[in-house]
Amino acid sequence: MKIQVAGPGCANCKNTEKNVINACAELDLAADIEHVTEWIEIAKLGVLRTPAVVVDGRIVVMGRVPTVAELKTLLAQKAV
C-alpha cells in the first residue's frame, strides 16, 4: 500500500503525517509512506486543499487533519 501525505510542510501537514504513521503502526500495516511537498507534484495528485492523504492514487482525505481513528478505519478498508 502506498500512502502519500500532500502538503507543503506546515504544522497541519506534519500532524497528518504523524497520524498516518501512528494509524499504520496500530494496524500493524506495512505501507510505503511519502510526504509530497512540491506544489507541482501535489497538483498532479489532484489535491486542491492541503493537507491531504492519498492511498494508492486515490484521495481519501483533503483539506483537514484526519484523526488516527479515522485513518485506521480508512486504511483497514483499503487493506482488505
Of 35, 40, 45, 38, nearest in space to 14 by CA: 35
Q: Read off the pTM.
A: 0.94
Whether the per-residue pLDDT at 15 is higher than 70: the answer is yes
Average pLDDT estimate for 64-79: 92
Whether the per-residue pLDDT at 79 is higher than 80: the answer is no
Options 3.30.450.20, 3.30.470.20, 3.40.50.2300, 3.40.30.10; CATH of 2-79? 3.40.30.10
The model's pLDDT over 17-70, given as tens digits with 9 standing for 90+, comes to 999 999 999 999 999 999 999 999 999 999 999 999 999 999 999 999 999 999
For the chain, domain boundaries: 2-79
pLDDT of residue 77: 86
pLDDT of residue 56: 95
